[in-house]
Structure 1
């Protein structure tokens, strides 16, 4: 809740300040730096924010992005700032040059202090997409905007998760537009699909035209019904929660647990015994192959358990043991993985979290994939 309140407070302040802003430097100081502070970055600490960060691209040397955001000594995002009166559409290419020059950076932000555009590389690796996956006006933010921006807080910033989240936003937006068009003007195929199961008549053009307004009305009624029931259920849940708070007010510890945010519960990270055993098995495989394992470590996230060499960007194995179909993810092309994985089922990994996915029955199957493990490690050695 504190983040939402801080962002709403900043939104009010920016509305008050914007009429007094006349140039890019004022935009940075009065509008953009406060936004980075709300995200949890120490703007005065070069370990977190570095102004005028050099990002050379090809023959262009000395290219500098306005702000590079750092976490764990690694750049995690670039922010290019423009004056409040600038049209951001004129500057996408500039941010793209910086983004493409530094492969480990997967998030690019373009802003004039009011409008924000967030980019990543969903279309081609290390090439910034032409279209942003997130756009918002900080002076007029919806709850959905605030929820999206909260994903970029420093404390929870996870590049791999954010790329996956960006992909979800793009698909959701596209589907949302498609559904709006279908609901507003149902296509022949859509009407035919809806009426085929209950109508015994032959579906001709005249039948489609007769049913089209009926379909539109039915959709409208269904949406209203869903919304009204949803609101009723939310209100009932609030009443139930209030009742629980009343019943447990004498137990402060229990109350704290009950009032933990749903988001925290949903995204809690638990490192399991199986994951740690897998980590040890992988180190043993590499040690037996005379590989230097001194710098091998792991990082647990909500999406996978990542094993890396020296730093988290040099990961070579990611495991997903808490899914119905246990699997490991690698950077190896699917053809190479198939050569090394024998009879294990292999498929293309979801974009943003790996290249190949190998399905396993148990974490103990790692022992049968020693050649694949060694090859993955050699790529980041």
Structure 2
């Protein structure tokens, strides 16, 4: 599961098509359904992605939300769509009513370009007024893609997403406040710093002077931090180039193929249900392509044998012995999901 290239491709498609899309219905089909599809849900299966899902609200019967995604015959996400030209700020009250009626934990309000994910952090079964995850599909950052991936069918875990939603929501609010304070420091913000460095009386004139000083100090601090990191990176690069110049590079007999890397990405997609991505490390050898836990040779997760006529996936048991399974292509790795996850359990239980 590689969401980044898929999301990038969808964003490019939206950029080309949006000026030709005039209706809400067209927005759904051209922008929203492809997004649902890349999350792993079958938009052609009416038992998994239900269009015009009925969410009766009290005495109002037949109220419908645009889509509901089902898992184990229960709605897990309800989705309300708007025309891509519409401002989403005026539409969350409608979704608020649907959320209570559907008994789901997640709601998505989107116009196909901007996406807002909601849950019920503040009161059970009552949708929060503010989303915990919000993004523009044309301006995605790596950490946002990581959060989107948690809604993928292969990763979906209600408890994990809800637990993380609180941190996401409040981090976003704090970052917003910091940005506002940097642009125009408030009285209390200025007083916090002025009171610690100025011994005299904080008159209106003094506070006015400190407002300018605090703003400049923060801007300079951020610039210095950025410069320090850039200089550190440049120095490391210069040192590395110097080392490469001084020491002749040994020609490696190991050649990592694109097929091995693709196989590794498939294993990561499976194991990230139980492990964070940075703990899953590959190490190529002349005889096999190894995938390790925590980059530790004593903790092999599996081995790929792909460079001979026959291809094999090596499954590791609790004794760290390898059993090879013949595979016709790397796509067959998905068939060994249970075995791969079991290997993780062996190490977690040690």
Normalising by the smaller structure, the TM-score range is: 0.5 to 0.7
User: Is the counterpart of residue 134 in structure 1 residue 133 in structure 2?
Assistant: yes
- Return the alpha-carbon distance in structure 1 between the equivalents of residues 167 and 224 of structure 2: 26
Distance change >3 Å, CA 126–CA 5, structure 1 → 2: same
Report how far residue 64 of structure 1 moved: 2.5
Deviation of residue 195 (structure 1)?
5.6
Rounded Cα–Cα distance in structure 2 between residues aligned with 1:170 and 1:152: 16
**What SS does the aligned partner of 1:67 have?**
strand
Distance 1:121 1:5 in 2: 31
In structure 2, what is the equivalent of residue 28 of structure 1?
28
* 1:25 partner SS: helix
Deviation at 1:163, TM superposition (A): 2.4
Judged with a 3 Å threshold, the aligned counterparts in structure 2 of structure 1 residues 95 and 212 are, in CA distance, closer, same or farther, namely closer
**Counterpart for residue 159 of structure 1:** 158
Quote the offset at 1:3 in angstroms. Answer: 1.0
Q: Deviations over 1:41-86 (max 9, x none)?
A: 1212234312222222212223332211123443210012233444
**1:44–1:239: structure 2 CA closer, same or farther, 3 Å change rule?**
farther
Q: Which residue of 1 aligns with 2:254?
A: 250
Give CA deviations for 1:96-126 in whole Å, capped at 9, x if unaligned. 22210122x1111122323322222222211
Structure 2 equivalent of residue 225 of structure 1? 224
Structure 1 runs not aligned, ≥5 long: 271-320, 323-381
Aligned position for 1:54: 54
Give distance in 2, aligned partners of 1:219 and 1:198: 15
In structure 2, the residue corresponding to 1:155 is in which secondary structure? coil
Provide the aligned C-alpha RMSD in A. Answer: 4.2
Change (3 A) 1:237 1:60: farther
- 1:69 alignment counterpart: 69
Q: Which residue of 1 aligns with 2:324?
A: none
**What residue is the counterpart of 2:200 in the other structure?**
202
Deviations 1:247-284 (A, max 9, x none): 9873869x97899799513699x9xxxxxxxxxxxxxx
Give the conservation status (yes or no) of the 8 Å contact 1:111–1:117: yes
TM-superposed deviation, 1:6 = 0.8
> Are the aligned partners of 2:194 and 2:207 in contact in 1 as well (CA < 8 Å)?
no
* 1:192 positional shift: 4.8
CA distance in 2 between counterparts of 1:121 and 1:45 reads: 28
Q: Equivalents in 2 of 1:178, 1:131: separation in Å?
A: 15
Q: Distance in 2 between matches of 1:36 and 1:236?
A: 44
Pairing 1:60-99 to 2, within 5 Å after superposition: 60-99=60-99
Structure 1: how far apart are the matches of 2:153 and 2:97? Answer: 24
**CA-to-aligned-CA distance 1:201-260 (integer Å, 9 cap, x gap):** 3353355455443333222221112223334556778999999xx99873869x978997
| Map of 2:13 onto structure 1 | 13
Look up the match of 2:40: 40
Aligned partner of residue 53 in structure 2, secondary structure:
strand
Judging changes above 3 Å, is the alpha-carbon distance between structure 1 residues 229 and 35 closer, same or farther for their aligned structure 2 residues? same
Residue aligned with 1:154, SS: coil
Q: Using the TM superposition, give the Cα deviation of residue 92 of structure 1 relative to its aligned residue in structure 2, in angstroms.
A: 2.2
* SS of aligned partner of 2:200: coil
Give unmatched runs, 5+ long, in structure 2: 244-249, 282-292, 294-347
SS of alignment partner, residue 250 of structure 1:
coil
Cα deviations across residues 298-357 of structure 1 (Å, max 9, x unaligned)?
Answer: xxxxxxxxxxxxxxxxxxxxxxx99xxxxxxxxxxxxxxxxxxxxxxxxxxxxxxxxxxx
> Per the alignment, in what secondary structure is the counterpart of residue 51 of structure 2?
strand
Q: How does 1:1-381 map to 2 (within 5 A)?
A: 2-103=2-103, 105-187=104-186, 189-194=188-193, 201-205=199-203, 207-232=206-231, 250=254, 263-265=276-278
Q: Tell me, yes or no, if the aligned pair for 1:192 and 1:203 is still in contact at 8 Å.
A: no
- Write the distance in 2 (CA, Å) between the matches of 1:66 and 1:157: 21
Relative to structure 1, the CA distance from residue 7 to residue 194 in structure 2 (aligned partners, 3 Å threshold; closer, same or farther) is same
SS in 2 for 1:50: strand
